[in-house]
Amino acid sequence: MSSISTRRSPTATLLLGLVITLATVLAYSWYISRQISGLRQLQTDLTDRNRRDSLQLLRIQNDLNQLALAMRDMLDPDESYPIAAWSAQFERVRTDLDDALAQQATVSAARRTPEQTRYLESSVAQFWDASSRIFELAAAGQSAEARAQVRLSLQPRQAALSTTIARFLVQNNESEAQTAERVQEIYATVQRQVRWFLIATLAAITLTGVLLIRSSRRLFGQLAALSDERRALTQQLITTRESTLREISRELHDEFGQILTAMGSMLGRAGRHAPEGSSLRSDLREIAEVAQEALDNVRGLSQSLHPSILEELGLGSTVDWYLTTVGRQLELTVDYERSPALPPLDDAVAIHVYRILQEALSNVARHSGVREAKVRLQWFGRMLELDVEDRGRGLGAAVGRERRGLGLVTMRERAALVHGTLECVPGRDGGTLVRLRVPVDAAPEHT
């Protein structure tokens, strides 16, 4: 037992495994949350901005298309309006175009070089400078020159700006495709990491489970060893107790019984020699009666410690004799039934059955709260069955206290010594039923 008690408890190892597993789960949960937050931020920063950038580019392209339509009408020979009449429309488109360019610069998500940005700004500025000169020529009455400048300068600049905006839209589409690829890469990475995390978690759980199983097996092995040691010690104590009680019983019966018997015989002889009617003869008679009473008490004590009739007449007769003393000893009224034929039992088996009967009736007297009990001693083909039943408080009150004491434990150990079983169950009519079953490989005989 000392070697078992000095072994290290598995609690620390199991707690460490639990802490590591929980820490891994928390760390990975935090990592996955960061990845999802990053993915959400990427979609917000790139996808949403790219969409708004495309909308502004489409707005710019629409303004450029309006300018292209206006210039076409300006060059139409059938158009009755002078070129200067288009100035207000150009100013209105210029205002909207400048606003669209300003917003597009703030939400631009595509990877544009500084040269592209400067080229767009200079192209727009040159376009408006050229349009201003054209309207100045028209205001000065040089309409033919103004139309020539529209054809030679303004339209090519508008076409160049449209081509640039179209290129930017293509870049936005490519950026959206790249963003989608990055999102898919992140999803794939997260999925791989989730799989690896599940594998690692399952491995950790498996390892912890194996350690728990091994620790549990070792612990249960230790408990089983302790239980076996306790049972062996209890059985040894029971055997030693029975051996001691047998020796004391024999000493009382043989030594003290013989001495008291001799004293009674001597007192009887002395009384016969005393004169008839003398006080001496009366005193000797009283002493002889006291000696006889002491002899009866010694024999009763001897039978209580270890009934010699158990070895002489068998279990059935011993139980018959004992139940006649229960009313005086325990103040119980016993309803007794037994099979007419009982098997011959080994003395070691018989004494344990007898002790279990004594303990069961003692429990009825102490805990049941009633003064009646029923005892059945029966033989069912290779099985001896002893039932002690009462109609008292029941298992909760009567057996509950005994279950925490030594009485029921001792009864179970005695049953185990004879390879039997002991049950404590609720009785059919309430109360408690204690049932002992002992296998006996012997033919029954009449007792």
How do the domains of the chain map onto residue ranges?
2-213, 309-446
Specify the fold of 309-446.
Heat Shock Protein 90 (3.30.565)
| pTM of structure | 0.50
Find out whether 432 and 426 touch, Cβ atoms under 8 Å. yes
Question: 372-379 and 383-390 as β-strands: parallel, antiparallel, unpaired?
Answer: antiparallel
Find out whether 374 and 387 touch, Cβ atoms under 8 Å. yes
| Out of 28-42, 114-128, 356-370, least confident range | 28-42
CATH for 2-213, options being 1.10.3300, 3.30.110, 2.60.120, 1.20.1330: 1.20.1330
96 — pLDDT class (breaks 50, 70, 90): very high
Residue 188 token pair: 């794939």
* Most confident region among 112-121, 168-177, 281-290, 412-421 by mean pLDDT: 412-421
Nearest to 86, CA basis, from 180, 150, 14, 19: 150
253 — pLDDT class (breaks 50, 70, 90): low
Q: Where is 158: in which H helix or E strand?
A: helix 155-251
Segment 4-21 shows an average pLDDT of 64
Segment 330-352 shows an average pLDDT of 84
d(CA 232, CA 108): 88
Segment 40-61 shows an average pLDDT of 78
d(CA 313, CA 336): 18
- pLDDT on residue 446: 42
Q: Where is 309: in which H helix or E strand?
A: helix 309-313
Question: 372-379 and 333-338 as β-strands: parallel, antiparallel, unpaired?
Answer: parallel
Residue 62 has pLDDT above 90, yes or no: yes
Q: How far is CA 395 from CA 180, 352, 355, 391, 392, in A?
A: 73, 23, 21, 11, 9
Find out whether 422 and 434 touch, Cβ atoms under 8 Å. yes
The residues, ordered by sequence, that sit 6+ positions from 148 with a Cβ below 8 Å of its Cβ are none
Average pLDDT of the chain, as a whole number: 79
Residue 110 has pLDDT above 60, yes or no: no
d(CA 134, CA 318): 140
The residues, ordered by sequence, that sit 6+ positions from 319 with a Cβ below 8 Å of its Cβ are 336, 338, 354, 357, 375, 377
